[in-house]
Structure 1
């Protein structure tokens, strides 16, 4: 539907653009004439003039950048009470103070006030704690998806009306073709008049069709100026043909689509009016002759702020206000002195330069706009849930999607982007202009191991030298340039230290550079074209930083194009498309049609129940759908009594999830290579088993737990004498050549060849008398042997070298204390019967501990994010990161029911839902789903039918394994069922 809507919008805009100077009347005209007539009849001549005046206000005087003497609440209230002004335009402040002031101002006004704001990129342009959408230049980079811009306009309108605002002085319709423009630049959609027009129309329609008056600016075009009209009067020297064909084009398109308002710029344009030093706001040939008569515009005509030097420099003391009305304007915005203005306007009426009838006509037009905005049935702003209503999750989704579509890849040497072959890369990230690790770097770190560095904007030579000295050992540098200014006067925030370091990094031949700022800043850099990769993000926000990192790793495609010409290397429409390559994308539930508030509340409730009921001290929950991680949250603490809170990057003991994240993965790989046959027997790959009772057991039966193997053997008990002492050649309390392997740090070591004893115990163990399903650890203890025998590589190296490092799942490891601090590893049980210690950073399972912490049935540790990467590869039938890591056939074969005719629910290695719900899987899981649970409180589950991926990590065995509330309360399955239930509502 969105694609169709975008196409219809495109056709509508372009069809209207082809019709010259035919204006569609705005919708507010001739609204509720009875109310308009009745209100008008109560107004004195002076009050009718006052209806054409809009005064400035702030809701936070301390932060005001305008004169607090005239904009403070008392001064504004006086103007409303005494002069009966028609409207208020709000500047600095916050939403709650502004709403309260709005209600107060409306309560003391004879006629309901029109409330206006400059909210070009959202209410956040003026007030805090509200939504900030992308700049218009960022939106200009989006290709062919103007429906998103329409939705942005619609959402902004809803937010504005919720705050009691009726007019947005937007969109900016200026065509910015001057790189040195000090006042428009990033506020424009770009330099192409057609693109500016179609995007401005989409934005305008979105606002107006959701009940917000608009005012396109800055007529007749402020895009090709080198002077800021806030401080002086810019001069436009182009001839009439150029102005007609270029600057006026977007305004005509907007008028043809029912534009409700136009704002006149303070510009001197000799081609349109030769009067020296006369701003266009005061020019009758521009306002009345061109805009109203020639172009046929019937909507409201607003002045730009009448306190700007572009008008007051030559026309002070209220004279400009009178001249503006004489020129043809309807509303004077930001009048400096209302009393002087009214006095000067009355002089103009008396002198016949403007008639009372003209004043009355414009007053009626203002009242019609008020009626259209609903002020004929005025209601105060409701204060309850104001903040929540002004910050809806839908706006966050729109922000994310707009940003994603705009990101522009300007350089991609040898198709380096998106990054592949992660196992060959040693990566450092560098944020220039940052005082700490940035959002950009944090998101980069979700994809693989990266070392992070940063350099402050005003770094010393010593800081710069120190940074460069640390980067020599890396073969890839991911550089973020964080620009703190949008102004060309300040080089867009590119400081000399940043520029010099950036020059060296791009010259190294190892840098992929992401620019978080104005695209014209490329002109201030030394040879950015030398970068291996270059991503233009247009501004520095959490969205641009987050999504630029995701683009680099191929979670999202690169689709944007430069909306302006920067230089010969980076011309208009430059930009290369880069593909998404199947890596996890990180987003919010709304992108998948789910409600964040509902999802979060329900999952929070279950997780908190688990913690309050002491089912586990803490946990991590991560969920993805369609390859998009939409929920990722940590709860509780490492232990009930300790201070350490659970972090998203904490490593957990995965227990039996090792079976399908390590052993089964390796077996699928060997099956792909035709080195492992599921229908071969145990003796085929374990020669020592040739004369055992297990010799002829087929691996397919073994891997589905239906080969009569015992569930487990208490191996540590077999090493113990009746009196509790250890048998000879089993354990020692001191490390030596004979006892090299630690079972418990500094207190217990196992005999060097004891693994052979363990394997012999498994080989010689009796079989169960009856056939049928019995879950068994025994065969999984043997798979590392098989992997070594068939590949020549040890188990852990095989997994890391061929899978984990390729996937960027580098935290997946055995014996994690070799690589991670204890505070990053969550403890498990207090072992009171074998190792007699708190287990922390060492495997919980006793048999795995006796094998040096490395086994095929337990021993793997990792973070939720890295576990999910493996499982997303499974869910995508072996594809991840642009590579077919495993064959589709392997995933199909291993994850299907093997013996459904016997009632067995098992796949090869994987667990699957029982045919009649029993609680081993989520209640709503499809028959195609597969997963596993872990003894320490772990669960992983993937559902191809719903494209769902779920990871739950906990340490339910702390302090004791006797606590099984995690299962009795159905904590793990209940969380995934929350998602199923939400999806079933759709």
Structure 2
């Protein structure tokens, strides 16, 4: 990889437009066509781009969040990623930042790579922060094995809105102290191998009921309320030291002089609050600028990029209009504004490129043992007691598993399956019910068909049921879980979590976890 010149030399070597190019981080897609790859190479070569952020494919990118286009599975994604990183680095005059969202591991974007538990699972145990440290460290190892410098994680939003369509399982919970502690453990684990982090989504995306990929969430709280809750983890972590803060596309009038200007393009929020009042000295990065919360209201090429930069963002993530953005920023910015931003970006790049762990990891991490420990700590008795489960396990019972087959089963398939299930369970009194939500996000009842919900609720009403739930606990709101003999939250459907659930049912281990959010 090309050498990165020290800051003082870079200041004189880079042209004004090349410096502005360093502020841009367009999207790169692992499953692009050769033509699309060459287009990005040209963009990097011609405009001095500072970095790229990897996504799986254009169909899986932010604005396709609810799966409107088919996402094609690519078993060779990891090898393709490594190859593309080398190729894009070769096209660049100076080393590129390589970033990715890997909140629960590279598996968030890349097939056949280690997956670690969601933040909500890590939020289900108290203490044992060393396990979360190890998660951060293992994910950092996987980033390094790919050639990635920057994991745009963790989420430090306090998820205090059960109807949140986009944060939910990505948050450590609804308690500000727990969110802060767990985020710091994750950050320190990541930093232990020199991989950069970024806390998000400033000033706090937890109490929203709109997905900012698709629209503008508005948080109508007083500044005092925000300082006591939403802003609390950000301030604590900033005080401890953090590489970057990602600003979200959400309107918070109390922080923006009463206007509904999205935080990502609000100078009052990015500069006056974050840099001024909260004393953040690091790099500010925008959330993806293709997201509809901002892209639809600023469609003129270059306008959104300028507004985000002028607000105080140093790095413009998923900028779609690079050439026009560079031109508009060059035209409108002061020299002082440009130099201050360039200094922050280049200093962080020096830190990333100087990481002594680069090239020391070529193998992906091993997730099984760590996931097993987390499963043991997180399993949660939500309703009932373990004595009831122990008594039930010694009776004659029927095991019924509700887990949709892979793909998109039709309504007809679901109805046929449920009709068979009704006949099979008709004469049964005692049922061990294993439920895995089809989706982790809440849209469309977490992927459940209404007939499935009705069937489970009738079973809970009419039978003696012990329920084990393997997924986002918010989906439990669809069911009358309190009518079960006992309900146990397992959070994930990995093999390690299934094994722990089996051992719990057999009375070999106790449930120590605690639900980290309210289901009310």
User: TM-score, with normalisation over the residues of structure 1?
Assistant: 0.48
Question: Which residue in the other structure is 2:430 paired with?
Answer: 476
Does residue 518 (structure 1) correspond to residue 472 (structure 2)? The answer is: yes
Structure 1 segment 483-494 matched on structure 2, within 5 A:
483-494=437-448
Q: How big is each residue's C-alpha offset from its partner over 1:883-908, in whole Å with a ceiling of 9 and x where there is no partner?
A: xxxxxxxxxxxxxxxxxxxxxxxxxx
Q: How far, CA to CA, are the matches of 2:269 and 2:124 in structure 1?
A: 31
SS at match of 1:214: coil
Question: Which residue in the other structure is 1:429 paired with?
Answer: 399
Question: Which residue in the other structure is 2:32 paired with?
Answer: 61
Q: How far, CA to CA, are the matches of 1:430 and 1:119 in structure 2?
A: 34
Does residue 96 (structure 1) correspond to residue 75 (structure 2)? The answer is: no
Residues 204 and 427 (structure 1 numbering): CA distance in 2 closer, same or farther, change over 3 Å? same
Structure 1 segment 261-276 matched on structure 2, within 5 A:
261-274=244-257, 276=259
Question: Which residue in the other structure is 1:363 paired with?
Answer: 342
Tell me by how many angstroms 1:475 deviates. 5.3
Tell me by how many angstroms 1:115 deviates. 0.4
Larger Rg: 1
Q: How far, CA to CA, are the matches of 1:33 and 1:483 in structure 2?
A: 47
Residues 201 and 265 (structure 1 numbering): CA distance in 2 closer, same or farther, change over 3 Å? same
Q: How far, CA to CA, are the matches of 2:40 and 2:497 in structure 1?
A: 39
Tell me by how many angstroms 1:306 deviates. 0.9
Q: How big is each residue's C-alpha offset from its partner over 1:520-540, in whole Å with a ceiling of 9 and x where there is no partner?
A: 212212x21111110112243
Question: Which residue in the other structure is 1:464 paired with?
Answer: 418
Please list every run of 5 or more consecutive structure 2 residues that lacks an aligned counterpart in the other structure. 58-76
SS at match of 1:373: helix
Q: How big is each residue's C-alpha offset from its partner over 1:99-154, in whole Å with a ceiling of 9 and x where there is no partner?
A: 11111111221110000001111111011111111111111111211110011101
Does residue 192 (structure 1) correspond to residue 163 (structure 2)? The answer is: no
> Does the 8 A contact of 1:492 with 1:517 survive in 2?
no
Question: Which residue in the other structure is 2:123 paired with?
Answer: 140
Does residue 331 (structure 1) correspond to residue 301 (structure 2)? The answer is: no
> Does the 8 A contact of 1:428 with 1:476 survive in 2?
yes
Q: How far, CA to CA, are the matches of 1:254 and 1:472 in structure 2?
A: 55
Q: Normalized per residue, which structure has more helix? A: 2
Q: How far, CA to CA, are the matches of 2:386 and 2:27 in structure 1?
A: 55
Q: How big is each residue's C-alpha offset from its partner over 1:299-349, in whole Å with a ceiling of 9 and x where there is no partner?
A: 111000111111122222221211222111111111101001001101212
Structure 1 segment 448-463 matched on structure 2, within 5 A:
459=413, 461=415, 463=417
- Pick the aligned partner of 2:23 from 52, 77, 84: 52
> Does the 8 A contact of 2:404 with 2:438 survive in 1?
no
Residues 378 and 203 (structure 1 numbering): CA distance in 2 closer, same or farther, change over 3 Å? closer
- Pick the aligned partner of 2:328 from 327, 334, 344: 344
Residues 463 and 98 (structure 1 numbering): CA distance in 2 closer, same or farther, change over 3 Å? closer
Q: How far, CA to CA, are the matches of 2:431 and 2:411 in structure 1?
A: 19
Q: How far, CA to CA, are the matches of 1:469 and 1:409 in structure 2?
A: 30
Q: How far, CA to CA, are the matches of 1:500 and 1:226 in structure 2?
A: 25
- Pick the aligned partner of 1:400 from 343, 356, 372: 372
Q: How far, CA to CA, are the matches of 1:59 and 1:34 in structure 2?
A: 29
Does residue 41 (structure 1) correspond to residue 12 (structure 2)? The answer is: yes
Tell me by how many angstroms 1:199 deviates. 0.7
- Pick the aligned partner of 2:285 from 292, 295, 302: 302
Tell me by how many angstroms 1:546 deviates. 2.9
> Does the 8 A contact of 1:137 with 1:185 survive in 2?
yes
> Does the 8 A contact of 1:124 with 1:131 survive in 2?
yes
> Does the 8 A contact of 2:305 with 2:321 survive in 1?
no
- Pick the aligned partner of 1:554 from 507, 510, 514: 507
How many residue pairs match? The answer is: 496
Tell me by how many angstroms 1:550 deviates. 2.1
> Does the 8 A contact of 2:194 with 2:355 survive in 1?
no
> Does the 8 A contact of 1:263 with 1:301 survive in 2?
yes
Tell me by how many angstroms 1:556 deviates. 2.6
> Does the 8 A contact of 2:4 with 2:95 survive in 1?
no
Q: How far, CA to CA, are the matches of 1:269 and 1:251 in structure 2?
A: 16
Question: Which residue in the other structure is 2:48 paired with?
Answer: 84
Residues 147 and 458 (structure 1 numbering): CA distance in 2 closer, same or farther, change over 3 Å? farther
Tell me by how many angstroms 1:499 deviates. 1.5
Tell me by how many angstroms 1:61 deviates. 2.2
Tell me by how many angstroms 1:194 deviates. 1.1
Residues 78 and 420 (structure 1 numbering): CA distance in 2 closer, same or farther, change over 3 Å? same
Structure 1 segment 510-909 matched on structure 2, within 5 A:
510-525=464-479, 527-567=480-520
Question: Which residue in the other structure is 2:455 paired with?
Answer: 501
Question: Which residue in the other structure is 1:578 paired with?
Answer: none
> Does the 8 A contact of 1:172 with 1:200 survive in 2?
yes
Tell me by how many angstroms 1:460 deviates. 5.2
Tell me by how many angstroms 1:44 deviates. 0.2
SS at match of 1:271: helix
Q: How big is each residue's C-alpha offset from its partner over 1:226-272, in whole Å with a ceiling of 9 and x where there is no partner?
A: 11111111111111111110000111121122111100011111101
Q: How far, CA to CA, are the matches of 1:421 and 1:249 in structure 2?
A: 44
Q: How far, CA to CA, are the matches of 2:414 and 2:92 in structure 1?
A: 57
Residues 266 and 463 (structure 1 numbering): CA distance in 2 closer, same or farther, change over 3 Å? closer
Q: How far, CA to CA, are the matches of 1:235 and 1:73 in structure 2?
A: 37
SS at match of 1:40: helix
Q: How far, CA to CA, are the matches of 2:23 and 2:377 in structure 1?
A: 41
Q: How big is each residue's C-alpha offset from its partner over 1:895-927, in whole Å with a ceiling of 9 and x where there is no partner?
A: xxxxxxxxxxxxxxxxxxxxxxxxxxxxxxxxx
Question: Which residue in the other structure is 1:288 paired with?
Answer: 271
Structure 1 segment 141-156 matched on structure 2, within 5 A:
141-156=124-139
> Does the 8 A contact of 1:551 with 1:558 survive in 2?
yes
Tell me by how many angstroms 1:40 deviates. 2.9
Tell me by how many angstroms 1:478 deviates. 1.3
> Does the 8 A contact of 1:301 with 1:331 survive in 2?
yes
Question: Which residue in the other structure is 2:73 paired with?
Answer: none
Please list every run of 5 or more consecutive structure 1 residues that lacks an aligned counterpart in the other structure. 1-31, 63-67, 350-354, 437-454, 568-986
Does residue 227 (structure 1) correspond to residue 199 (structure 2)? The answer is: no
Tell me by how many angstroms 1:41 deviates. 2.2
Q: How far, CA to CA, are the matches of 2:519 and 2:318 in structure 1?
A: 35
Question: Which residue in the other structure is 2:70 paired with?
Answer: none
SS at match of 2:219: coil
Question: Which residue in the other structure is 2:63 paired with?
Answer: none
> Does the 8 A contact of 1:52 with 1:363 survive in 2?
yes
Q: How far, CA to CA, are the matches of 1:139 and 1:421 in structure 2?
A: 29
SS at match of 1:223: coil
> Does the 8 A contact of 1:307 with 1:335 survive in 2?
yes
Q: How far, CA to CA, are the matches of 1:129 and 1:506 in structure 2?
A: 37
Q: How far, CA to CA, are the matches of 1:232 and 1:276 in structure 2?
A: 16
Does residue 121 (structure 1) correspond to residue 104 (structure 2)? The answer is: yes
Does residue 163 (structure 1) correspond to residue 142 (structure 2)? The answer is: no
> Does the 8 A contact of 2:294 with 2:304 survive in 1?
yes
Q: How big is each residue's C-alpha offset from its partner over 1:62-94, in whole Å with a ceiling of 9 and x where there is no partner?
A: 7xxxxx98xx31121011110010001000061
Residues 226 and 421 (structure 1 numbering): CA distance in 2 closer, same or farther, change over 3 Å? closer
Question: Which residue in the other structure is 2:90 paired with?
Answer: 107
What's the Cα RMSD here? 2.5
Q: How far, CA to CA, are the matches of 1:427 and 1:61 in structure 2?
A: 51
SS at match of 2:26: strand
SS at match of 2:110: coil
